[in-house]
Structure 1
């Protein structure tokens, strides 16, 4: 039980603000908890057809060109097998609109059969597909028509969504309509897909297609669970929620939460996110606790799913502070379990990502459980990081008995101010 802050003396309040939370052992997760891994279409498939992001990649404005990426397009069976060997329950991937519909009214049966094979591999390995309909990529012919600035995109987007939904209803899929809508808008602004004056309208259209896709899924795939995953930005969610999540709350069967970095008085490295230098951010695992508790309070009873969580390294090099991928994984799972113990209805966790991939303009950030050197290794060999064995062990056995996080909680967390500072766990 927590003592309300208003009953503490001034000295106790100051101590609370300036002292990291003491370690408390986390409770084990239930048998029906969903463990998973994630990837996306454009980032990992390679050999990309014409799309907004193929054009951005080829424009000379990105650090690297996408090329074959890590060639999930032809190596999906290997990566799905690696996921199954971890013992996970869920494999998240994206079905790329640009592959399926290379021209208006034209559907590519070869690419549809490719995704049929992906789904068959996942289900055949005993895992549940988590299918993402839109991971920031649309066909080149849609870009030629103005992309999200053109109101016709709504009907075009929904035609593709219906094609995918009808094809994969009945396979037991979890569905993600739109990946990180607010970051989607930010990327389109950065690369010129829309102008600043069109950002509010793009958000309106993302809200509309999510709401209509939700209904399409439930009409075609009764009993399926549907969400859109949000990018958790510390201290900014009150404003960001109003642009999308608050407008679709009635069309969410669970809320997907992507958590990568925190913010506290003793850790301001999150500023590196502004330049996408995520490998320069000092991880703050306790922040995932505050993120999950925020939505537990905001949306009582709505299940939560950590759709993405992971740690980038700088081109695969060890972190200067010695913090490893397995450290990062276990510490975040500890705090996720603490959130569950305090009432957060967390039903699943996906590691981002199964392999390294193309991080929206560059191969430099390495997020993979399996590392792949896309630029210099023509064999694209998947090499396990230390987190592979760690994740396999956690999935099978939970955290080690008495596990305490290696990284201390931040001093006055600002992940969800003021409560994350004044009421630490």
Structure 2
């Protein structure tokens, strides 16, 4: 396998809630533990990365990886509004130190989907106060840890809320309902009775969703969550990974800008960026306008808010195909991953090229990978994806790193532990780690 150039970061990514375990103050913990949860199982101890991070980082280093993108958990740092936990700051200081001791560049993400439960109780990501609250949390962390960091991603997949809103708007529109009616019993009944082909597919969005629940269970779960957050109406639940208004979409970008301002005031040399969930848009003749519109919604309309960022975090797993009428489809007979995506490792290089047309700063692939029980397929995915990225570098695109998703098999949100994204397998009965061949394959591409 060809190696990446000297200084190019080759690593893997995780998200705190998916790997650490016992994130008891977060909004996800609340949603996982109601009686009729939409989650197929709770995160619980996850894969105990909180206590075993030294072993996990050492395995990365021994395999040859040179970077680790991980997230700091807001709900741990600020479990109650305005009350910060210095013990948790020290935990993340130790994680960063462990990275450096093992020759691993730490890339910190300040928000990866999960938020403190108290934030949701006060309106969450549709409340304009979230901008200052997020910036205040970021300031607290960076004041204490910024001297140890070179890279910070403010928010992971800042466009995820809009993607979910688009899917549900299309779904509800096919039944004559509106997105605001999603918690209404009649609308929910229509959803349950809708033709199968009109329903959103779990592979339509790059996050683990559980769309297999019955209408009654879903309704009960929504009501239980509202009560747990102290809300009267389930429509008032605005987590980061939920439907949003156009205003809520822009609030995320304002939170990013506020956080970047705080970071730069404290440590001007830290490179700051954001990550977006993107697809490789591939139209047939006649589908070009639909593909261009989708790309604009996923990426281009955020450009005014990120144009001056130091880097952009590109995250892609597959492509989206458009027929002559502009409808999205999955080609017949293609290989699918456990997540329902098409196996299409060429997507990430195509996405990087598309991003580079408009974004003129550095680019880092902050997530790319596949869920599969067959590690030989993961290895093929990595080989094809990285070969395309090396061609991007040869063509002069300022690509600075590749972070594979994920370092280890973990908690894939509403789907639980069934999705196998990891370079490392974890036996959750005893938390034993076993490196897969794909870990060593990726590590062999780094030049130290």
TM interval, shorter chain, is 0.7 to 0.9
Aligned pairs for 1:313-352 within 5 A: 313=372, 317-318=373-374, 324-352=377-405
Q: Please tell me whether the aligned partners of residues 261 and 285 of structure 1 are also in contact (alpha carbons under 8 angstroms).
A: yes
Determine the structure 2 residue equivalent to 1:384: 435
Contact 1:270–1:281 (Cα < 8 Å) also in 2: no
**Alpha-carbon distance in 1 for matches of 2:444, 2:300:** 39
Partner of residue 128 from structure 1, selected from 105, 108, 132: 105
The equivalent position to 2:238 in structure 1, one of 169, 191, 194, is 194
Residues of 2 paired with 1:172 and 1:197: CA distance?
Answer: 33
Instruction: Determine if the alignment matches structure 1 residue 157 to structure 2 residue 134.
Output: yes
| Map of 1:407 onto structure 2 | none
Unmatched runs of 5 consecutive residues or more in structure 2:
169-208, 210-221, 223-234, 282-293
Cα distance change of structure 1 residues 380 and 255 upon mapping to structure 2, 3 Å threshold: same
Structure 1 residues 354-363 or 80-89, which shifts more?
Answer: 80-89
Q: Does 1:305 align with 2:359?
A: no
The residue correspondences of 1:29-48 to structure 2 (distance < 5 A) are: 29-48=4-23
SS of equivalent to 1:366: coil
Q: Does residue 209 of structure 1 match 2:255?
A: yes
388-397 or 209-218: which moved more? 388-397
Provide, for residues 344-385 of structure 1, a one-character-per-residue CA deviation record: whole Å limited to 9, x for no partner: 2211111111111111122111111001243xx2x1111111
CA distance, structure 2, for counterparts of residue 312 and residue 302 of structure 1:
30
- State the partner residue of 1:363: 417
Structure 1 residue 161: deviation in Å? 0.7
Structure 1 279/71 Cα, relative in aligned 2: closer, same or farther at 3 Å? same
Q: Does 1:148 align with 2:125?
A: yes
Deviation string for 1:199-239 (max 9, x for gaps)?
Answer: 21222211111112112111111211111011112333222
Q: Which range moved further: 59-68 or 232-241?
A: 232-241
User: SS in structure 1 opposite 2:299?
Assistant: helix
| Offset at residue 268 of structure 1 (A) | 5.0
C-alpha distance in 1, partners of 2:96/2:76? 16
Q: CA RMSD in A?
A: 2.8
| Residue matched to 2:87 | 110
The reply on whether 1:237 has 2:295 as its aligned counterpart is yes
How many residues are treated as equivalent by the alignment?
Answer: 358
Deviation, 1:41, is 0.7
Given that 1:262 and 1:287 are in contact with CA atoms closer than 8 Å, whether structure 2 keeps it comes out as yes
Cα distance, 1:27 vs structure 2: 7.4
TM-score, normalisation: structure 2: 0.74
- TM-score (structure 1 length as normaliser): 0.78
Answer with 27-36 or 356-365: which moved more: 27-36
* Corresponding position of 1:119: 96
Aligned to 1:409: none
Whole-angstrom distance in 2 between the partners of 1:246 and 1:226: 15
